[in-house]
Structure 1
């Protein structure tokens, strides 16, 4: 009778390894197994099966076990990132690295001065196309739909969508977060009784920013919306609610899903920041009758069941398991899980979030109190202080599209570096008023200090500096509210690609600026929320090494006296920009 020694192996090389396959002795009672010798020490041995990806953990040879870290390399989570100017879909592996993505810009609508809208069905179509195209690239690499455990969603916040609950069709364009058509409404609301009590309940001051005043305007000014409200068929939501509803099949679904997470709900002014539920006093203040409107159910940011599944397309049947407003998502993507950690995202606008722990801090210095994330599963929700800047990357777009300074936004740094300093120019980029910590609704974009010496480079540099000065003002307010000075600032977003801008930020604030090598942190945050719900990561500690490679730290180089002098000039310009939006006798803007 033969045994395992009774064979002559056939040897060949395949996929970076040597494989010995035995020739069986037919009389043998034991079935000899192939032996595998890696050619490279860090190569994970696998046996490749036709049509199965060689790195998928379930196809490892019997007896070979992987560590949790090795397993995460083969787990994938998708992320929908729906922003102000574009939609994207990215697929991350369990180590937080993107392996496939697709991005699509869509039209931004500006029907009147100060108005900003999106077509809701176009938002949905752009997301669906990004999913299909990214999945095509994913499959081309040898992966399969079944390799994706779940998907997360992150979205522009405050942007307001209304639709018919019976048909699922939008009743008006989405009103986008920086839209200022509600400025007169806000002025009226500020004069009402109890207006000064709202911030203690919801963490937000009255302004044109939150969803509440946008919904009020729609009900008062759009007949189709008003009629749907009176008939009890008006559905309201932020972009996350709209996408989740439609991706699950909308009104045609057997059980339509109309939900939002607490990070997005905290931007409406309808949610009590302490209970994470809708507050009757807040709804009453804004004149919203809960019996006449379909509000999305508020659920945790990470959950395996609440958000449903994709109904059609390349990811049909894959569950949605995470949802975070974009700025909360960026904090999660930066792994800002400890109180005292902060991040700043330099996108269309600029948003700084500071983790304050499990109890909300109501700001006394012009900041917002918001939900940072709520991962459920017995974990307490985590809160943040937030400072919002309306204009950051959009200021660069303004120089490019409106003034023709450069052909592409990435060239703005080179233009700014063509001069040594700002030449005395200060640009208060108050295109939609000024947000935190100033909250000046009647400011307009204003350039000070122009002389015959002024060149395009001076204005370009002043545009970058405007974002850095406003960030400094927010950090100062956060220091006062928290009684702690930030030790460093994690950054991401398109404008963070500019070394000049990040060095300027470090110089003006006097603290190091920490930029990751992989800057898709907003999308990564949504993937983390979904992955936590579906076992890719079990606890936050599993994420300690995610997105840590290739970070660059910008250290302050400017003397503090010079930095303070520049900031005082900025503060002077802010005060001088007040009051440009004035009312004249006939009710028109001056």
Structure 2
């Protein structure tokens, strides 16, 4: 990227602008998703699921298409699915229903059950975004019985996050005609071991949880560093990316803890 100069009386010297990137694209870059078919999911208040499509512009009525970044005169494109409610569901359980004292309790509660016993959560508090685009959809908890307990609702809420992510990824696989090999994950809700393991199980691929919750800033720094040639090769930059939590293998495969 060409370096331009910002002249402002606040700074004693001109400040070089070495890289400009959006929030979701920054997370994609910071996760090392640099090739076509690489995919990341950010589990924030809502969720951004983004796939690098390389130099191919992919159009889908279920997803958004935009530029990922341009480096050394080469442009990468992305498809993205945004989800209105993901981590905010867990906050809703704490603040509105007061079912739990903290979002940290979600994983342990969900693990108490061997299944959801037919209880499902549709978190359409503000309608459903990608891939449904139904602004009139309403939230619902269905499948409850006289035996339904707090743990069932907490588990269903976490499962709802993963199902929404999977729906977007299925739309991406259809649009880009590719099978994903893994999912890179970041954001606050990745602290839930149950949620991450369930995500791996229903996708059937490993989920790599980044050491950092906020990977967008890392991606911005990496891009700027490339702009002023702090690093001279991709391998140097990729070494900055750390996944120091569990790598969640899908159900039926060997599960092990690693640092990569």
Identify whether the pair has TM-score above 0.5, normalized to the shorter chain. Answer: yes
Question: Taking structure 1 as reference, are residues 311 and 360 closer, same or farther at Cα in structure 2, changes over 3 Å only?
Answer: farther
For 2:49, which of 348, 352, 357 is the aligned residue? 352
**Structure 1 residue 514 and structure 2 residue 208: aligned?**
yes
Matched position secondary structure for 1:382: strand
- Superposition pairs for residues 22-421 of structure 1, below 5 Å? 303-305=2-4, 308=6, 312=10, 318-363=15-60, 366-375=62-71, 378-421=72-115
Bigger mean CA offset, 544-553 vs 332-341? 544-553
Question: Taking structure 1 as reference, are residues 380 and 416 closer, same or farther at Cα in structure 2, changes over 3 Å only?
Answer: same
Do the aligned partners of 1:516 and 1:552 also contact (CA within 8 Å) in 2? no
Aligned residues: 253
**Cα displacement (A) at 1:305:** 1.8
Distance between the aligned counterparts of 1:492 and 1:334, measured in 2? Answer: 9
Question: Taking structure 1 as reference, are residues 417 and 549 closer, same or farther at Cα in structure 2, changes over 3 Å only?
Answer: closer
**Structure 1 residue 441 and structure 2 residue 135: aligned?**
yes
Partner of 2:169: 475
**Cα displacement (A) at 1:443:** 0.5
Matched position secondary structure for 2:19: strand
**Cα displacement (A) at 1:311:** 6.1
Aligned-residue Cα RMSD (Å) equals 2.4
Do the aligned partners of 1:518 and 1:547 also contact (CA within 8 Å) in 2? no
TM-score of the aligned structures, taking structure 1 as reference length = 0.40
Matched position secondary structure for 2:36: coil
Unaligned runs of 5+ in 1: 1-301, 560-590
Distance between the aligned counterparts of 1:430 and 1:311, measured in 2? Answer: 48
**Cα displacement (A) at 1:317:** 6.4
**Cα displacement (A) at 1:449:** 1.2
Question: Taking structure 1 as reference, are residues 442 and 549 closer, same or farther at Cα in structure 2, changes over 3 Å only?
Answer: closer
Do the aligned partners of 1:433 and 1:440 also contact (CA within 8 Å) in 2? yes
Matched position secondary structure for 1:486: coil
Question: Taking structure 1 as reference, are residues 443 and 546 closer, same or farther at Cα in structure 2, changes over 3 Å only?
Answer: same
Q: Deviation above 4 Å: which 4+ runs of structure 1?
A: 309-313, 315-320
**Cα displacement (A) at 1:318:** 4.8
Partner of 1:242: none
**Cα displacement (A) at 1:363:** 1.6
Matched position secondary structure for 2:141: strand
**Cα displacement (A) at 1:535:** 2.3
Distance between the aligned counterparts of 2:118 and 2:131, measured in 1? Answer: 24
**Relative CO higher for 1 or 2, CA cutoff 8 Å, sep ≥ 6?**
2
Do the aligned partners of 2:3 and 2:227 also contact (CA within 8 Å) in 1? yes
Do the aligned partners of 2:209 and 2:243 also contact (CA within 8 Å) in 1? no
Unaligned runs of 5+ in 2: 254-260
Question: Taking structure 1 as reference, are residues 542 and 458 closer, same or farther at Cα in structure 2, changes over 3 Å only?
Answer: same
Do the aligned partners of 1:389 and 1:467 also contact (CA within 8 Å) in 2? no
Partner of 1:132: none
Do the aligned partners of 1:492 and 1:519 also contact (CA within 8 Å) in 2? yes
Question: Taking structure 1 as reference, are residues 504 and 405 closer, same or farther at Cα in structure 2, changes over 3 Å only?
Answer: same
For 2:117, which of 382, 403, 423 is the aligned residue? 423
**Cα displacement (A) at 1:416:** 2.1
Matched position secondary structure for 1:322: coil
Partner of 2:256: none
Distance between the aligned counterparts of 1:430 and 1:447, measured in 2? Answer: 10
- Superposition pairs for residues 487-502 of structure 1, below 5 Å? 487-502=181-196
**Cα displacement (A) at 1:460:** 0.8
Matched position secondary structure for 1:323: coil
Matched position secondary structure for 1:538: coil
Question: Taking structure 1 as reference, are residues 316 and 438 closer, same or farther at Cα in structure 2, changes over 3 Å only?
Answer: farther
Matched position secondary structure for 2:136: coil
Matched position secondary structure for 2:185: strand
TM-superposition CA deviations, 1:208-237 (whole Å, max 9, x none): xxxxxxxxxxxxxxxxxxxxxxxxxxxxxx
Structure index of larger Rg: 1
Distance between the aligned counterparts of 2:106 and 2:137, measured in 1? Answer: 25
Question: Taking structure 1 as reference, are residues 381 and 421 closer, same or farther at Cα in structure 2, changes over 3 Å only?
Answer: same
Question: Taking structure 1 as reference, are residues 348 and 312 closer, same or farther at Cα in structure 2, changes over 3 Å only?
Answer: farther
Matched position secondary structure for 1:529: helix
Question: Taking structure 1 as reference, are residues 551 and 309 closer, same or farther at Cα in structure 2, changes over 3 Å only?
Answer: farther
